[in-house]
Amino acid sequence: MDQTTSIDLEKRFEGKIAQELKIEPKDWMPEEYRRMLIRQISQHAHSEVIGMLPEKNWLTRAPTLRRKMALLAKIQDEAGHGLYLYSAAETLGVSREQLYRDFLDGKAKYSNIFNYPALTWADIGVIGWLVDGAAIINQVSLQRTSYGPYARAMVRICKEENFHQRQGYSICLTLARGSKEQRQMLQDAINRWWWPALMMFGPPDAESKHSQKSMKWKIKRASNDTLRQKFIDQTVPQLEYLGMKAPDPHLKWNPERGHYDYGPIDWEEFWNVIRGKGPCNKERLRTKRVAYEKGQWVRDAAIAYAKKYN
Ligand code: FAQ
CB atoms near residue 283 (< 10 Å): 13
Going from the Cα of 208 to the center of ligand 1, the distance in angstroms, rounded, reads 11
Going from the Cα of 210 to the center of ligand 1, the distance in angstroms, rounded, reads 11
Which residue lies with its CA nearest to atom 3 of ligand 1? Answer: 208
Which residue lies with its CA nearest to atom 46 of ligand 1? Answer: 51
Going from the Cα of 300 to the center of ligand 1, the distance in angstroms, rounded, reads 33
DSSP 130: I
What's the pLDDT score for residue 134?
98
Q: Which ligand 1 atom is nearest residue 41's CA?
A: 43
Cβ 39 under 6 angstroms from ligand 1: yes
Q: Which ligand 1 atom is nearest residue 55's CA?
A: 46
What would the 3-class secondary structure string for the chain be?
CCHHHHHHHHHHHHHHHHCCCCECCCCCCCHHHHHHHHHHHHHHHHHHHHCHHHHHCCHHHCCCHHHHHHHHHHHHHHHHHHHHHHHHHHCCCCCHHHHHHHHHCCCCCCCHHHHCCCCCHHHHHHHHHHHHHHHHHHHHHHCCCCEHHHHHHHHHHHHHHHHHHHHHHHHHHHHHCCCHHHHHHHHHHHHHHHHHHHHCCCCCHHHCCCHHHHHHCCCCCCCHHHHHHHHHHHHHHHHHHHCCCCCCCCCEEECCCCEEECCCCCHHHHHHHHHHHCCCHHHHHHHHHHHHHHCHHHHHHHHHHHHHHC
Q: Which ligand 1 atom is nearest residue 112's CA?
A: 1
Which residue lies with its CA nearest to atom 9 of ligand 1? Answer: 210
pTM: 0.96
What's the pLDDT score for residue 6?
85
Best residue for ligand 1 mutational test, from 55, 99, 111 (most atoms within 8 Å of Cβ): 111
Per-10-residue mean pLDDT of the chain, 310 residues long, equals: 77 96 97 98 98 95 97 96 97 96 96 98 98 97 98 95 95 98 98 98 97 97 98 98 98 98 98 97 97 96 94
What's the pLDDT score for residue 298?
96
Cβ 43 under 6 angstroms from ligand 1: yes
Is the distance from CB of 260 to CB of 228 less than 8 angstroms?
A: no
Going from the Cα of 163 to the center of ligand 1, the distance in angstroms, rounded, reads 22
Which residue lies with its CA nearest to atom 50 of ligand 1? Answer: 40
Cβ 120 under 6 angstroms from ligand 1: no
Cβ 112 under 6 angstroms from ligand 1: yes
Cβ 54 under 6 angstroms from ligand 1: no
What's the pLDDT score for residue 4?
65
Going from the Cα of 303 to the center of ligand 1, the distance in angstroms, rounded, reads 33
